[in-house]
Amino acid sequence: MTEPALPTRRWVAIDHPSWRQAHASSVLAVGGDLLAAWFAGAWEGSPDTRIWCARRPAGASRWSAPQIVASADEAHWNPVLAAGPDGALWLFFKRGPLISEWVTWVCRSADGGRTWSPSSELVPGDVGGRGPVKNPPLLLPDGTWLAPGSQESWGAEPVWESFVDVSTDAGATWRRAPIPLDRDALRGPGVIQPALWRDGSTVYALLRSSEGRAYRACSPDGGRTWSTAQPVGLPSNNSGLTVVALPDGSVGCVHNPVGDDWGARCPLVLSRSCDEGVSWREVLTIEDGRTPVDEDAARLPGPPDAAGIHPADGGVRTSGAGEYSYPAATSLGDTLVVTYTWQRRGIVEATVPIHSVIPEGPA
């Protein structure tokens, strides 16, 4: 079996004077260009966090200087870029000091992400966060738009719930479709941050969990109703994951292959499934924490932070040392593009030929 090509990696943005930490990127192919968005500020959940955006034009080797896209006097979180059914680019993001009280806002671009409209609430009166929470919406052939969402309540006994927001009018209105979960089988708060793909008429969701393994659910009716989410053979460290449909009909997942709740966020790998997300095999290491990006010896990673991360309703507190996390993925021609958080100091883009991550034989 041919070994996958090694990723080509470059900085999207790193060590900007306007932030101490950057996190949670989204990436979208716009024509031949790439567009990326993320949030950055003093720390996750700090009042100065804002949504930033940068572009890599077709054929260019470097990303543009990052610019603030959305600004308001409160914390911003988790941007999600998407091509809308209306032909515009959409940028969803969360606002608010606490995760449990997020409100989802959205702005639109009619010129490929070069300029953006003023932002507005996605669902008026929303508290907790509607629409996509981390991964992009899925547009079905009949025009239905499915946004993978979740909401988190914190406190003595946190409860996490996932759902899919369904829009049949190009994002004007949304109807929440819950993803059921057997809470009696859980040791932690549950599942969040679904990632969606489809095969024919069936839509699938892969979910981050507090249980050491990712969970999976499916919908036979275009996302309107969902099966009970069940654990599958993919480690979950209770950090963000993403999926990408591959041209041979299989599906790839970019994730940290660590089966500990709030576990290490290194390495970052691509795993592949040939049975609609039930079983998985690692096929590519995207980041191992040992290789400097672009062979820049001045940016060699430091040792992992032994104190780890400290989650709370106000966000994760961490130094970021040794963290390579929260991937986003898209395809650009015959290339797989992944962006991810690099030690909270910035965002990295990794690319690899798609054919090199589709090995012969079953997953």
* Residue 18 CB contacts under 8 Å (≥ 6 apart), including other chains: 40
Percent of the chain with pLDDT over 70: 94
CA 33 to chain CA mean position, Å: 19
List beta partners, residue 41. 21
- Read off the pLDDT of residues 196-232 as tens digits, 9 standing for 90 and up: 999 999 999 999 999 999 999 999 999 999 999 999 9
The token pair at 166 is 């369904």
Confidence of residue 1 (pLDDT cuts 50, 70, 90): very low
Decide: 360 and 341 in contact? Cβ < 8 Å. no
CA 208 to chain CA mean position, Å: 11
Decide: 197 and 243 in contact? Cβ < 8 Å. yes
Where are the domains positioned within the chain? 8-357
- What are the start-end ranges of the H helices in the chain? none
CA 209 – CA 193 distance, rounded (Å): 9
> In this model, does residue 308 exceed pLDDT 70?
yes
- Read off the pLDDT of residues 257-295 as tens digits, 9 standing for 90 and up: 999 999 999 999 999 999 999 999 999 999 998 877 766
209: nearest Cα among 167, 258, 244, 250: 258
Task: List phi, psi (to 5°) of 345.
Answer: -85, -20
CATH of 8-357, one of 1.10.3720.10, 3.40.50.300, 3.10.20.90, 2.120.10.10: 2.120.10.10
CA 33 – CA 247 distance, rounded (Å): 21
Handedness of CA 35, 345, 77, 159 (dihedral sign): positive
> In this model, does residue 157 exceed pLDDT 70?
yes
SS3 146: strand
> In this model, does residue 9 exceed pLDDT 90?
yes
The residue whose two tokens read 């809308």 is: 84
List beta partners, residue 67. 53
Q: What angle do CA 313, 315, 317 make, to 5 degrees?
A: 125
Decide: 340 and 267 in contact? Cβ < 8 Å. no
* Residue 173 CB contacts under 8 Å (≥ 6 apart), including other chains: 167
Residue 254, burial from CB neighbour count under 10 angstroms (0-12, 13-18, 19+)? buried
- Read off the pLDDT of residues 309-350 as tens digits, 9 standing for 90 and up: 999 999 999 999 999 999 999 999 999 999 999 999 999 999
- pLDDT at position 306: 64
Average pLDDT, the chain: 94
